[in-house]
Amino acid sequence: MKITDMKLYHVKPRWLFLKIETDEGIVGWGEPIVEGRALTVATAIEELKRYLIGEDPLRIEHHWQIMYRGTFYRGGPVLVSAISGIEQALWDIKGKFYNMPVYEMLGGRVRDKIRMYCHCGGATPEEFAANAKLRVAAGFDAIKTGVDAPVRNIDSLAFVESQVNKFAAAREAVGSGVDIAIDFHGRVSPAMAIRLAVALEPYYPMFIEEPCLPENVDQLLRVAESTSIPIATGERLFTRWGFREALEKGAVAIVQPDLCHAGGIFEGRKIAAMAETYYASIAPHNPLGPISLAACLQLDACTPNFLIQEHPSMAEKWDLGEGYLQKPFEVAGGHVAIPEGPGLGIEINEEALIERSFGGDWDTPRLAYDDGSFAEW
């Protein structure tokens, strides 16, 4: 079997889908994307295409090594995200070739269903509490919110109180049986993250995500050692090498590789195995589309130290595949059933991709402080 073509679809709201075709009629789908840099990733795909056309799609690890190591310069969000989407599509092909889900080829499932959490927020404590109740009524027992932006490096007591008041209102609304995570989104300085963690600790957050930017692991460790709240990070780390230092130093309790950024499904499994040796859990990052979710579910099914799976829970349910998949995913009782179909277990509605296509020019929001200087989103 040989790869014959690779096609890209820029799809609303901000996604990039990849279709890999073979001479045996088997096709595979992946989601190679850097949010706000989809056009750049598409160029990287075209460059990698020159190598892949004519190759055997079943030699996934061989191709991964050549794509990652073969151009001398390694890593980074653009290259590894391009590789990630290709890798997902190759596993989809391999699973269809052998007529089994990807997780069966990675050791088989270790659980019967996959626990999910969705996003939840609100401009006021009352709104956040009401939205949290709606998520629980829909069957979720875990939700995630975020701190308001922008956050100054040393912010005011009023800001801290505003964030704690919202979290406390949600906790009171849903009770102690529901997990509530909070995403600092890398927009908070280590000093401010410590102050916020101290104030939030009485309300038992499930975890704090990206309490500070990931480039300086010693500062991440400083935050982790200041609080009993588990620290999660990883959406901006690439490949197993990107996670090594944070795990070795004990700076992270929950790794969050994004399978569209970190190297794909098998690389995610390697990251999870590394984390397992440090008694850390894995909760794959996923604010993207249904192919990304499909890839995550394959990993979740076969990974012992899996904790919980993110999906953004858009009102339109596009992220679950509504309108894009022949059979969208369903969340029932806060869980998704283990996929049973071959490969990624999905069938793409290609006509919908064409109908909902756009120029791929979605850009990351840009924030500023009141003095006009740049602020982290």
Provide the annotated active-site residues.
185, 285
In the numeric block, the tokens 């290609």 are attached to 350
Interatomic CA distance for residues 330 and 19, integer angstroms: 24
Instruction: Kindly state the tokens that stand for 313.
Output: 């829970």
In the numeric block, the tokens 């300086």 are attached to 216
Cβ pair 244, 216 in contact under 8 A: no
Instruction: Kindly state the tokens that stand for 317.
Output: 């349910």
Q: Distances in Å between the alpha carbon of 212 and those of 189, 258, 344, 353?
A: 6, 18, 33, 36
Cβ pair 90, 57 in contact under 8 A: yes
Instruction: Kindly state the tokens that stand for 109.
Output: 């499932």
Say which DSSP state 101 is in: B
Rg for the chain, CA atoms, rounded: 20
Q: Where are the alpha helices (DSSP H) in the chain?
A: 38-52, 60-69, 77-98, 102-105, 125-137, 157-174, 190-200, 217-224, 239-248, 265-277, 290-302, 350-355
User: Of 33, 101, 97, which is closest to residue 59 (Cα–Cα)?
Assistant: 97
Interatomic CA distance for residues 170 and 125, integer angstroms: 7
Please give the single-letter amino acid code of residue 157. Answer: L
